[in-house]
């Protein structure tokens, strides 16, 4: 009987270690949360005859399953902030490569601010434009 119990314990230890390792991997696993649907809207509303339109596919880089859940929980607020940011842009800030990078950085900053306000920490590590179409 003792040998049987010892054998069960010996077999269960690797399983317990594997489960613990899995939890650690989940906490350090980098993932990308795609904000969908894509952002589509107007910008540079200066009253002129030309309509300016953008389409942006955005992904947020986070680490850990809990961070991913927090971003998804706050996605409506993040989307609202980003739509407001995009609508404030001018033709110059949307057509210049350097300006697009500044826009990406500002979008990241505002996303991190939303997460700090709602969750107590910035959580989002980076913001990526998977696709940015300007017309």
Look at residue 21 in the predicted model and tell me its pLDDT.
Answer: 54
On whether residue 16 sits in a domain, the answer given is no
For position 16, what pLDDT does the model report? 54
Domain range enclosing 67? 30-134
Report if residue 25 sits inside a domain: no
Q: Which tens digit of pLDDT belongs to each residue from 75-92?
A: 999 999 999 999 999 888
Cα–Cα distance for residue pair 60/50, rounded to 1 Å = 32
Q: φ, ψ for residue 120 (rounded to 5)? A: 90, -5
10 Å Cβ neighbour count for 74? 19
What is the total count of domains within the chain? 1
101/116 Cα distance (integer angstroms):
22
Is 44 contained in some domain? Answer: yes
37 occurs within a structural domain: yes
Please report, for the domain that includes residue 102, its CATH number: 3.30.479.30
What are the tens digits of pLDDT across the range 15-73? 555 555 555 566 789 999 999 999 999 987 766 677 889 999 999 999 999 999 999 99
Note the pTM of the prediction, 2 decimals. Answer: 0.77
Give pLDDT, residue 25. 62
């Amino acid at each position: 009987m003792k040998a049987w119990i010892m054998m069960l314990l010996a077999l269960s230890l690797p399983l317990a270690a594997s489960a613990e390792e899995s939890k650690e991997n989940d906490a350090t696993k980098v993932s990308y949360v795609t904000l969908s649907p894509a952002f589509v809207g107007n910008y540079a509303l200066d009253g002129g005859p030309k309509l300016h339109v953008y389409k942006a596919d955005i992904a947020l880089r986070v680490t850990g399953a809990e961070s991913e859940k927090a971003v998804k929980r706050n996605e409506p607020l993040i989307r609202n902030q980003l739509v407001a940011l995009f609508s404030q842009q001018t033709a110059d800030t949307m057509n210049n490569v350097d300006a697009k990078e500044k826009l990406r950085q500002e979008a990241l900053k505002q996303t991190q601010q939303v997460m700090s306000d709602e969750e107590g920490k910035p959580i989002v590590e980076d913001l990526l434009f998977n696709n940015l179409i300007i017309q």
